[in-house]
Structure 1
């Protein structure tokens, strides 16, 4: 155990952390540029465990506006699956593009990439230009990496041309024992949550908040019926809670009885199994979309009294045509991600003639992230952690997400030696109750 790890696990005060040396290298889940072509010509299963490696990487220097976070826990997002399959383009292309901007950005263009877009941990170093954060602060990390000297960033951080997803379009991400983070990515960690519970929130929680609640998204209001595809997924499980917390009616679609059972634990108002309606994992085509949409629409109206005011769609190609068809007259489809494919097909008549809207959404700006985290701090929203892996098994965790064999968020312990650590407000935790805090925790299932 290196001195910094020993100090952190011993809850050393900030003055001790400041004088404890940072190691020259650290353990990280990473990709190698030499492996980019490994799946070329593969038409079947592109098993991400073949490309993901856990091992030492060099410790980078800090830019003036950055901090070094000792990552206690992280979580898996689907963007790491894309990175590990080198699709739709190898993310090393993003690193080259970032590196060409010069200065400290050149560090990102390396023959390896540390992946991961979620993290919770302790600040152990701060750059000379960091004002509002100190060594020893406990934080969670927003995945949105922006240039605060760009004009678009000051309107909405997501609109800046240099906005990137940390650990996907940048290097030095969160599935590691350390992460390099801009100060503009930091949010205080909720004191009643464990490291792994807090780490599962930022990317998916913030994204769902922007999609549904923010003025930049669907602006959900009380009484709105919201159809949520993949309602037990990383995004969907947060969306269900936000709909219910905001006075809406959550209609969750899942793909198995196991997932339906877990969705009940979240208190979803209406639960529909897509298999009961013949909805599979592929684009059904124009005529089949209308047939399937009529059947699903009847079921939704029977349960709620109307069509969905909002459709929450991160599934993409397999569901988007149905989403446009099913949304109420004047309703909204809010979309991101597209885990089943980016090329969406839909019948434009159902969009234009019924005055519907499609809103593209991506991540969340820092204000939205703070507003979202406040709901967790006050016990209004709960983490959606379902499984926890150690860092040396992180590739197995990514494989689970690749196979869609998970629910909620899959956590990874990085520097934390075991689960359950990091709580500093036991009173609030007890008041909320451990069962409410972890409604999706489940028995491990085979990775395959």
Structure 2
């Protein structure tokens, strides 16, 4: 660990951080362009083969950027997509971005530092930064927007140059350092550890936009919300947002272990997908209707009515059922598609019943800020279940690739162990450690670094 990283970890003052030199290179999880064809014709695209950990060059900082000493990060499904080089190698994104010239050209490299979540300490700021200071504790949004585009000022996600940091840009969060635009930053919740805070931004803000924002489903008190994959990173935050808003979450999971975890989250209705005959593949039209009828009957038996909203990031395997099962005038809100992007549904059930489909992608900075506020108030809890060290990023990503995880899989970057980073232990004690880690289980055999609930150093 270099001197600047050691100072950030030790809680050094801004003046002390400034006195330390920025290293010429840093440790990161990255992909290499020469590996982009390694999975051609290979049935099992094992991400442990493509993910590398090693030293990469430190980039120059642009005027509107900050350099973050990353204490912790987490695995998202885009980490898996990146490491599988699907739906296309991310180096295509980097080349396209680099053609803009200027500071964008830095991103077009044969190494791609990935990761779209991060929590850490600002150790440098660009000359144009006004509202952030060296030494600030922050979490990072994955939404990388261009503030010189008119559409960005209506909604950051509408700009043509909007990108996902660490997926469509370089210098992501699975590293000792990350380069971010300061328009990606919000304050780290003071009662959380580094690894808990690093599990928030991408999935939490995405779920907030899908369900709460006026650009999403705009859920209200009493709404019945069907949530597919309810113990995944997105699903776990969706369950909490529905509960916090006075709605009735109906969660679908794939195992009894996940059902138990879902009950710990406080989900009102828990359904095992095997009970309706759903596998991991896209069902035929007849299978879709049959499964939709079984699911609808189960939901009506539990709550007395059909769902107002369906929260669907699973994709091909579930989308036709989502359109079928949502009530007349209801909303299916969708993002991602971990089981496939080609969605099939019977349009008669959509148009004749005045249903709506809303596409959603990540979140703008205000939506992240609103989500972050709910976390700071203790109304929403981290969805962290398991933590790995950075040098085992391949194993962490493989867990997500095989859907063997629940919630978020955290990654320690500069933090030497879990439990560090809390600056408000009184609030943490008031909320309660058990509530703060509803999905954590130190006995899980898949966890080489158990999730702890310690306070600050």
| Paired position in structure 2 for 1:24 | 24
Distance 2:115 2:259 in 1: 28
Distance 2:445 2:262 in 1: 17
Helix, strand or coil for the counterpart of 1:123? strand
Kindly provide the CA deviation profile for residues 36-87 of structure 1, in whole angstroms up to 9, marking residues without a partner as x: 0100111x21100000001100000001100000000000000010000001
The aligned runs of 1:157-306 (5 Å cut-off) are 157-306=156-305
The aligned runs of 1:16-415 (5 Å cut-off) are 16-42=16-42, 44-415=43-414
| Paired position in structure 2 for 1:3 | 3
Kindly provide the CA deviation profile for residues 378-403 of structure 1, in whole angstroms up to 9, marking residues without a partner as x: 00000000000011111110110000
Helix, strand or coil for the counterpart of 1:50? coil
Distance 1:285 1:362 in 2: 27
What is the deviation of 1:315?
A: 0.1
Give 5+ residue unaligned stretches, structure 1.
Answer: none
What is the deviation of 1:446?
A: 4.4
What is the deviation of 1:444?
A: 3.0
Give 5+ residue unaligned stretches, structure 2.
Answer: 448-457
Distance 2:431 2:446 in 1: 31
Distance 1:242 1:330 in 2: 22
What is the deviation of 1:445?
A: 3.6
Distance 2:56 2:398 in 1: 22
Distance 2:279 2:2 in 1: 50
Contact 2:8–2:123 (CA under 8 A) maintained in structure 1? no
Helix, strand or coil for the counterpart of 2:375? helix
Helix, strand or coil for the counterpart of 1:282? coil
Distance 1:9 1:79 in 2: 28
Distance 2:119 2:207 in 1: 19
Distance 2:277 2:247 in 1: 27
> Structure 1 length normalisation: TM-score?
0.99
Distance 2:290 2:10 in 1: 61
Distance 1:7 1:158 in 2: 36
Give the length in aligned residue pairs.
446
CA RMSD of aligned residues (A): 0.7
Contact 2:383–2:437 (CA under 8 A) maintained in structure 1? yes
Helix, strand or coil for the counterpart of 1:416? coil
Helix, strand or coil for the counterpart of 1:179? strand
Contact 1:64–1:128 (CA under 8 A) maintained in structure 2? yes
Helix, strand or coil for the counterpart of 1:106? helix
Distance 2:446 2:362 in 1: 30
> Structure 2 length normalisation: TM-score?
0.97
| Paired position in structure 2 for 1:13 | 13
Kindly provide the CA deviation profile for residues 272-306 of structure 1, in whole angstroms up to 9, marking residues without a partner as x: 00001111111111111101110110000010111
Distance 1:291 1:263 in 2: 25
Helix, strand or coil for the counterpart of 1:237? helix
Contact 1:29–1:395 (CA under 8 A) maintained in structure 2? no
Distance 2:109 2:282 in 1: 38
Distance 2:40 2:444 in 1: 32
Kindly provide the CA deviation profile for residues 222-274 of structure 1, in whole angstroms up to 9, marking residues without a partner as x: 00000000000000000000000000000000000000000010000000000
Distance 2:118 2:446 in 1: 25
Distance 1:350 1:19 in 2: 64
Helix, strand or coil for the counterpart of 2:48? helix
| Larger mean Cα displacement after TM superposition, 434-443 or 222-231 | 434-443
Distance 2:436 2:345 in 1: 39
| Paired position in structure 1 for 2:432 | 433
Contact 1:115–1:175 (CA under 8 A) maintained in structure 2? yes
Contact 2:312–2:319 (CA under 8 A) maintained in structure 1? yes
Distance 1:345 1:6 in 2: 52
